Amino acid sequence: MRSSVFHFHGVLGQPRRTEMNPMIRRSQFLAAGVGAAAAKALGPRAGASTLASGSSFLQPLRPIRGLKRSLARAYEFLDEMMDLYANGITLRLAQSYVPTTAQNLGDLAYTYDNAAMITALLQRGTSDDLSRAQTLGDSLVYAQAHDPKNDGRIRDGYHVNPFLSKNGSPRIAFDDDDGGSHTGNLAWAGLALARLYATTGQSSYLTAAVAVSTWIAQNTYDQRGPGGFTDGIAQPDKRIGSKSTKANVVVLALFNLLAGLSGTDPWQSLAQHALAFIDAMWNPQLGHFWLGTLSDGATVNISFIPEDVQSWSYLAAPNPSYAASLDWVYKYLRVYSRPLTGTSFSTADLSGIWFEGSANFALALQIRNARGDAEKADVLLVSLHVAQRTALNADGKGIVAASKDGLKTGAGTKYYAAPHVGATSWYCLSAQEGNPFL
């Protein structure tokens, strides 16, 4: 059940200067409502202070000593999930989840999770991180080049035990209904590959990013209603008529990045096509973005309102006119699940925390940096730090997807308390203030 605690009726304040190194800035946490476990993690208790919202906060007298170790453990988890079945430079992807009694997706590796992991590895950027990011990128390039359709697409998911079949082709996850190519997943893969190119100068990554972007442009460009790009193709080759705002946000980021790398059209004009759709999904009366459209490509889908599109839109295109979407999240999707606090996935279910959302929301608050945003972000990040050790099914390294089993998204799917590559990657990015979209 959603708590009445932490309802925040915020207004946009003026940005404030931050003098700390952005790579370690999160080491000064401000804990709120996370109970004894957080107090123990934070060290000696300081006196309670009260913010304008009326909520009581615990403020440590010294920087938290565990943040650096927490991040190191998170990266250990990512490495372990990548090395479950192979190591070294062997082509492979990272298994997305640690199986639990409530959720067992076996050896499934989601493309989105691996793209987020590549970005997190590049964010820290050690020599081992770069090597691992390249191996994951090489695996996506290989999967694209050896796809049965051979048309530039990448699939939503692959099996990784093993990743390659005896004939050398990637094991597409048809049996798990993830053999489709949804636009958002492809755009994430394109972003990761383009970033690898920008980091390494290796042309194969840019070639693959352009190929997947061309596939998106040729197969999902839509002129119905407010335009934009459709949700892609479901397995087997069933075109999807609906359009998702968050998918268009990632497409916008990808095409903007390609425009910067190549300096050529059509990427800039295609980015504007995505942006026009995003603009059309803005609800000025309530200050949030809608989910997207129904299958007719024109009717706005108001069935539920997700967190991620509110945060992602600001990260990809920090438009002050839409910054209120972050205040909307804080007011309507903030939940308390003793002893943790965070955001839920959407308005469809406020009974638990979706930790990936908590991390991307914390990052968006840090980027916006209006009055009070840093403190709110700290609250979310300290809760993620505590959840790493204390949440249901926590292993002390990875971040679980949700604080409870069966957290509903509103789209017919659920999240579970299983250690998750995607949530852990977002934690790594947020704790280092790394924006994956810019």
Predicted pLDDT of residue 68: 87
- Residue 81 CA to residue 262 CA, distance in Å, equals 34
Predicted pLDDT of residue 235: 86
Inform me whether the pLDDT recorded for 377 exceeds 60: yes
Inform me whether the pLDDT recorded for 42 exceeds 60: no
Predicted pLDDT of residue 60: 33
- Residue 172 CA to residue 140 CA, distance in Å, equals 12
Predicted pLDDT of residue 63: 46
Q: Which of 296, 297, 367 is nearest to 325 (CA)?
A: 367
Q: Model pTM? A: 0.86
At 65, the pLDDT band (50, 70, 90 cuts) reads: low
- Residue 246 CA to residue 159 CA, distance in Å, equals 26
Inform me whether the pLDDT recorded for 50 exceeds 50: no
Least reliable range by pLDDT among 38-42, 278-282, 287-291: 38-42
At 57, the pLDDT band (50, 70, 90 cuts) reads: very low
Predicted pLDDT of residue 174: 84
- Residue 141 CA to residue 209 CA, distance in Å, equals 9
pLDDT digits (tens, 9 = 90+) for 324-345: 999 999 999 999 988 899 999 9
Q: Which of 56-60, 187-191, 371-375 has the highest mean pLDDT?
A: 187-191
Predicted pLDDT of residue 178: 85
Predicted pLDDT of residue 180: 96
Inform me whether the pLDDT recorded for 126 exceeds 60: yes
Instruction: For residue 408, report the phi and psi dihedrals to the nearest 5 degrees.
Output: -80, 140
Predicted pLDDT of residue 46: 26
Mean pLDDT for all residues in the chain: 86
Inform me whether the pLDDT recorded for 288 exceeds 70: yes
Q: Could you give the percent of the chain with pLDDT greater than 70?
A: 85
Least reliable range by pLDDT among 60-69, 180-189, 207-216, 361-370: 60-69
pLDDT digits (tens, 9 = 90+) for 163-179: 999 999 999 998 777 89
At 264, the pLDDT band (50, 70, 90 cuts) reads: confident
Inform me whether the pLDDT recorded for 4 exceeds 60: no
Inform me whether the pLDDT recorded for 64 exceeds 90: no
In sequence order, what DSSP letters do the residues of 256-325 get, joined into one string? HHHHHHH--TTHHHHHHHHHHHHHHTEETTTTEE--EE-TTSSSEE-S--BSHHHHHHHHHS--GGGTHH
